[in-house]
Structure 1
Amino acid sequence: MLVYWLRHGETAWNRLGKIQGCTDIPLDDEGRRQARETAAALSGVTFDRAFSSPLSRARETARIVLQGRGPEVQVLEDLREVNFGSFDGRDMRRSRSDPADPLYLWFHQPASFRPAPGGESLGQAADRIRGVLERSILPLEGSAGRVFVAAHGSVTRIMLTLLMGRPASRFQELSMKNCALSVLEVSGGRVRIVDWGRIFY
């Protein structure tokens, strides 16, 4: 079984370098273009199951890429982006460079990051992402040939880092552009990364 795991297209907050988290920011025109280019590249691929984060930027990406072909997209709450609570909207560049910024550790020592009220830690996010694989993806082996997933940047990088056998705290070592595709192979209950970070625009 192959899993086509896609980060959503660009949003205005991506372009401005703002932390989005679970704030529901829609795709911008460039994000829609990225999704259309990805749809064209995958036009020959058929999917047996499809999942999306509940956030509209992921759901719209899935809708554009699938173009009405294949199964109905099932929304999985646990595919949502990392929840930064009241830290949403902060300037990512400032947070990366200012040790006094409450998000500084997220970028440099994420295992030590302390979430805002209502937010989640790296460990909580990693457990949630493991759960998606274990409860929703792996059980499809044998009944599905290809599965489509539309998710988010941090979620995808954490997932890939775990599959590489590394601690989740190393996920910042990976970069992930908007609408980047990763392909996973599931065989005998094991998951192997076939490709990651591929873009088609």
Structure 2
Amino acid sequence: MHLALVRHGQTDWNLRGLMQGRTDIPLNATGRSQAEATVALLDPADWDLVVSSPLIRARETAAILADGLGLSVGAEYDALVEQDFGDAEGTLVSEIDERWPGRAFPGKEPDEEVGPRGIRALERIAVDHPDARVLAVAHGTLIRHVLAELSGHHPRSYPKLDNLSVSRVVRAEAAWQVHTVGGAVFDDVLPTLLPAAEVEVGARA
């Protein structure tokens, strides 16, 4: 199975640099334009359908992609939703580390649960659409955690993903492999990634 994790288009909170998480913010005009522009970069012959997270910014992005590519919009997958950042949602990202050292936000979904949750979404999509080629619209932090879970690296060492960036994964012989990260070939990104265990040891030191 071939699947691409696509980050949703821009929202006003993205533009203002606010931590978004599960707060349900719609696309702005730029976000809609980004999705429309991405249609021209994707070959409709390469894809069978579009699915997404249930949050409105992901659903809107999915609808624009599907309409432009002549594809159907499939189900919403709750497990594709963004990480819950609890009390930090709506806060300027630039102020996060000062207000909550170590990013221990009250009400935050534990980091170690995000990647496995995202993998469960991939597995569910694979069951629902075996052998299909699927565009799955989700969220930046969720996507980084999923890629990190698959490759065995720490999610914070993955590069920030732009709006409408496409990260491709392939499932073969019951295993998922990362092929691209935000459009870059995985082997080109690999030298910048840190093993998850190495970062955890450093954090405890």
Q: Structure 1 length normalisation: TM-score?
A: 0.82
Partner of 1:19, secondary structure, is: coil
Partner of 2:45, secondary structure, is: coil
* Structure 2 match to 1:153: 140
The one-letter code sitting in structure 1 at the alignment partner of 2:22 is C
Residue 11 of structure 1 deviates from its aligned partner by 0.8
Q: What pairs with 1:13-162 in structure 2 (closer than 5 Å)?
A: 13-67=13-67, 69-96=70-97, 98=98, 101-102=99-100, 104-106=101-103, 113=104, 115-117=105-107, 119-134=108-123, 136-139=124-127, 143-162=130-149
Q: Deviations over 1:19-48 (max 9, x none)?
A: 001101111111111111111111433533
Tell me how far apart the structure 1 counterparts of residues 47 and 155 of structure 2 sit (CA, whole Å).
28
Question: How many positions carry a matched residue from both structures?
Answer: 182
The one-letter code sitting in structure 2 at the alignment partner of 1:153 is G
Pair 1:80–1:177, CA change in 2 (3 A): same
RMSD of equivalent CA atoms? 1.9
Partner of 1:177, secondary structure, is: coil
Structure 1, unpaired ranges of 5+: 107-112
Residue 186 of structure 1 deviates from its aligned partner by 1.3
Tell me how far apart the structure 1 counterparts of residues 178 and 118 of structure 2 sit (CA, whole Å).
16
Pair 1:73–1:88, CA change in 2 (3 A): same
Partner of 1:73, secondary structure, is: strand
Overall identity of the aligned pairs, in %: 31
* Structure 2 match to 1:109: none
Residue 195 of structure 1 deviates from its aligned partner by 1.3
Q: Deviations over 1:109-161 (max 9, x none)?
A: xxxx3x423x3111222332122123x134357x3330110000000000011
Residue 93 of structure 1 deviates from its aligned partner by 0.7
The one-letter code sitting in structure 2 at the alignment partner of 1:137 is I
Structure 2, unpaired ranges of 5+: 185-205
Q: Deviations over 1:71-108 (max 9, x none)?
A: 33200111111011222101101113x2xx12x423xx
The one-letter code sitting in structure 1 at the alignment partner of 2:23 is T
Residue 49 of structure 1 deviates from its aligned partner by 4.0
Partner of 1:72, secondary structure, is: strand
Pair 1:194–1:140, CA change in 2 (3 A): farther
Does residue 163 (structure 1) correspond to residue 147 (structure 2)? The answer is no
Partner of 1:150, secondary structure, is: strand
- Higher normalized helix content (fraction of residues): 2
